[in-house]
C-alpha cells in the first residue's frame, strides 16, 4: 500500500519508509506526518526509499525538509535504497547552501587581501585597455568616415558646449571665494593689492583645469560608463564584434578624442570666469575692473597658461579613458551599470588629483 510508515528499529533509529510515487500529487498528504516525525529527537533518521517508484521535485523537497528538521533536532540522516538518479538529486539538494542565516563577514585581513586583489586585477585590466586604446586611436584617425566625424562632433557638443554653463558658474564662484578669503587674510596687513595676483595665479595654474576635469568626470565620465555599460548589458557590444567592428574604435575613440579636445577649452572658460568672479570683491576695495585685470595679467606669464592647458589635456584623457574603461567592464544587470558609473566618477576624480600633483611636481622641478 502506497504512503508512509514510521517505525523505530531496536537501536532507536527513526525510520521513515516511503512507498509508491513521491510526487506533487502524493507529497501534500505525507508532508505533515513526515515532518512531524522528523522533529522527534533521536540519534538517527533513516529515509527508506526502497519502495519509492517515482520522485519529482516535490518529493525531493519533502525529503530535504525531513533531513533539515532531523539535523535541527540533533540527529544524523541516512538514506536507504532509491535509484541512482534520486540519490544524486538528494545529494545536490542537501549540499545547497543554507540561506536562512546572515553570511559570515570576512575578517579584516581577508578584506584587505580581497581589496588588494581587486586593485591589482583592475590595474592589469586598465593597462591592457590602454594598450588597446593606443592601437585604436591611430586606426580611428586612419579610417575616419563621415559617420565617425559626426559622432566625434556630437560627443564634443555633449562634453564641451553643454558643460559651459556649469563650468562657468563654478569657475566664477571659485574666483569669488578666492578673492573674498584673500581680502580677509591680507586686509589687516594692508596688502590687498596682492589679491589679483593670488586669484590669477591660483585660478590659472590650478583651479581652472581642476574644475573642468571634475565637471567632466561628473557629467561625461559617468555618462560614458553608463552608455557603454548599457550597451554591454544589452549585448550590443557583442553585435559589434559579430560584424567585425572594434568597439574601441567605434565607441571609445570618439569619446576620448572629445574629452582631450574639449577639456582645455572648458578650462579656459573656467579660468576666465574665475578671474571675473574675483573682481567683484575688489570693487569694494576701490579697484576698477581695468586695475584689477592689469594686476592679474602682471602676475602671470605665458608659461602658466601653457601649464594649465597641458594639465587640462591630460585630465581630459584620464577622465574619458576611465569612463570608457569602467563601461566596458560592466557585468550583467542594471545595478552593475549604476556601479560602473559610480566607479568612473570616483576613479576619475581621484586620478585627476593624483595626476595634478604629479604634473605640478614635474613643472616645479623644471622651474615653471
pLDDT in tens, 134-146: 999 999 898 888 8
Residues 354 and 214 in one domain: yes
- Report residue 196 as a C-alpha cell: 589679483
Residue range 20-49: mean pLDDT, rounded: 78
In a domain, 114, yes or no: no
Q: Across the beta sheet with 76-80, what order do the strands follow?
A: 3-8, 14-22, 44-55, 76-80
Asked, for residue 328, whether it belongs to a domain, the answer is yes
| Cα separation, 338 vs 226, whole angstroms | 7
Whether residue 99 is predicted with pLDDT greater than 60 in this model: the reply is: no
Asked if residue 139 belongs to a domain, the reply is: no
pLDDT at 102: 54
Rounded CA-CA distance 70/157 in Å is 68
Q: What is the DSSP letter of 221?
A: I
pLDDT band at 103 (very low <50, low <70, confident <90, very high): low
**Residue 271 near residue 203, CB atoms below 8 Å:** yes
Q: Are residues 208 and 82 in the same domain?
A: no
Cα gap 18→27, rounded to integer Å: 11
The answer to whether residue 120 is domain-embedded is: no
Say if 314 falls within a structural domain: yes
Better pLDDT: 30 or 231: 231
Confidence class for position 42, pLDDT limits 50, 70, 90: low
CATH number of the domain at 13, please: 3.30.750.24
Q: What is the per-residue pLDDT for 1?
A: 57
- Residue 80, sorted as left (phi over 0), alpha (psi -120 to 50) or beta, turns out to be beta
Q: Do 60 and 186 share a domain, yes or no? A: no
Backbone angles phi, psi at 313, to 5 degrees: -65, -45
CA–CA distances in Å: residue 271 to residues 100, 265, 290, 304: 58, 10, 17, 12
Domain span at residue 18 reads: 3-94
Highest-scoring range by mean pLDDT, 21-30, 55-64, 70-79, 160-169: 160-169
Length of the chain measured in residues: 368
**123 lies in some domain:** no
Q: What percent of the chain has pLDDT over 90?
A: 39
- Looking at the structure, tell me whether residues 90 and 234 fall in a common domain: no
Whether 53 and 163 map to the same domain: the answer is no
What pLDDT does 96 receive?
46
Residues 151 and 259 in one domain: yes
Q: Are 223 and 320 in contact (CB under 8 A)?
A: no
- At 166-189, the pLDDT tens digits run 999 999 999 999 999 988 888 888
User: Do 187 and 255 fall into the same domain?
Assistant: yes
List, for residues 79-98, the tens digit of each pLDDT value: 877 777 777 777 776 644 44
The answer, yes or no, to whether residue 41 has pLDDT greater than 70, is no
Instruction: Tell me: do 80 and 155 sit in the same domain.
Output: no
* Residue with cell string 570683491: 281
pLDDT in tens, 299-356: 888 888 999 999 999 999 999 999 999 999 888 777 889 899 999 999 999 999 999 9
**Number of domains the chain is built from:** 2
- Final residue belonging to a domain, choices 94, 109, 133: 94
Q: Are residues 152 and 78 in the same domain?
A: no
Distances (CA, A) of 44 to 60, 70, 93, 238, 347: 19, 8, 20, 54, 57
| pLDDT band at residue 59 under the 50/70/90 scheme | confident
Q: What's the pLDDT tens digit per position in 227-268?
A: 999 998 888 888 888 888 888 999 999 999 999 999 999 999
pLDDT tier, 66 (very low <50, low <70, confident <90, very high otherwise): confident
In a domain, 129, yes or no: no
Average pLDDT, the chain: 85
CA 139, 145, 149: angle at the middle one, nearest 5? 95
pLDDT at residue 273 greater than cutoff 90: yes
Which residue reads 592689469 in cell numbers? 294
Amino acid at each position: 500500500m502506497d504512503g508512509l510508515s514510521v517505525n523505530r528499529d531496536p537501536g532507536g533509529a527513526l525510520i521513515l519508509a516511503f512507498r509508491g510515487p513521491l510526487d506533487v500529487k502524493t507529497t501534500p498528504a505525507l508532508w505533515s506526518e513526515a515532518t512531524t516525525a522528523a522533529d522527534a529527537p533521536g540519534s538517527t533518521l533513516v529515509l527508506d526509499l526502497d519502495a519509492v517508484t517515482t520522485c519529482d521535485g516535490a518529493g525531493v523537497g519533502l525529503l530535504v525538509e525531513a533531513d533539515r528538521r532531523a539535523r535541527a533536532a540533533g540527529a544524523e540522516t541516512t538514506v536507504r535504497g532509491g535509484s541512482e538518479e534520486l540519490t544524486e538529486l538528494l545529494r545536490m539538494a542537501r549540499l545547497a547552501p543554507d540561506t536562512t542565516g546572515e553570511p559570515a563577514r570576512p575578517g579584516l585581513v581577508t578584506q584587505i587581501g580581497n581589496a588588494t586583489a581587486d586593485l591589482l586585477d583592475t590595474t592589469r585590466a586598465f593597462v591592457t585597455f590602454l594598450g588597446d586604446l593606443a592601437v585604436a586611436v591611430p586606426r580611428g584617425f586612419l579610417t575616419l568616415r563621415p559617420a565617425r566625424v559626426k559622432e566625434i562632433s556630437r560627443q564634443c557638443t555633449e562634453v564641451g558646449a553643454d558643460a559651459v554653463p556649469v563650468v562657468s558658474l563654478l569657475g566664477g564662484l571659485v574666483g569669488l571665494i578666492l578673492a573674498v578669503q584673500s581680502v580677509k587674510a591680507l586686509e589687516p596687513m594692508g596688502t590687498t593689492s596682492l589679491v589679483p595676483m593670488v586669484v590669477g595665479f591660483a585660478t590659472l595654474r590650478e583651479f581652472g583645469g581642476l574644475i573642468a576635469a571634475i565637471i567632466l568626470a561628473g557629467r561625461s565620465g559617468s555618462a560614458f560608463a553608463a552608455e557603454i555599460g548599457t550597451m554591454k548589458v544589452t549585448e550590443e557590444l557583442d553585435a559589434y564584434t559579430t560584424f567585425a567592428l572594434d568597439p574601441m574604435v567605434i565607441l571609445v575613440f570618439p569619446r576620448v578624442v572629445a574629452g582631450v579636445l574639449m577639456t582645455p577649452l572648458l578650462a579656459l572658460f573656467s579660468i576666465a570666469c574665475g578671474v571675473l568672479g574675483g573682481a567683484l570683491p575688489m570693487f569694494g576695495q576701490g579697484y576698477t575692473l581695468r586695475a584689477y585685470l592689469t594686476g592679474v595679467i602682471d602676475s602671470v606669464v605665458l608659461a602658466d597658461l601653457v601649464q594649465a592647458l597641458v594639465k587640462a589635456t591630460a585630465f581630459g584623457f584620464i577622465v574619458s579613458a576611465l569612463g570608457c574603461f569602467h563601461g566596458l567592464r560592466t557585468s550583467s544587470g542594471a545595478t552593475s551599470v549604476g556601479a560602473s558609473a559610480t566607479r568612473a566618477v570616483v576613479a576619475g576624480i581621484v586620478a585627476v588629483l593624483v595626476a595634478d600633483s604629479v604634473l605640478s611636481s614635474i613643472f616645479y622641478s623644471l622651474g615653471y
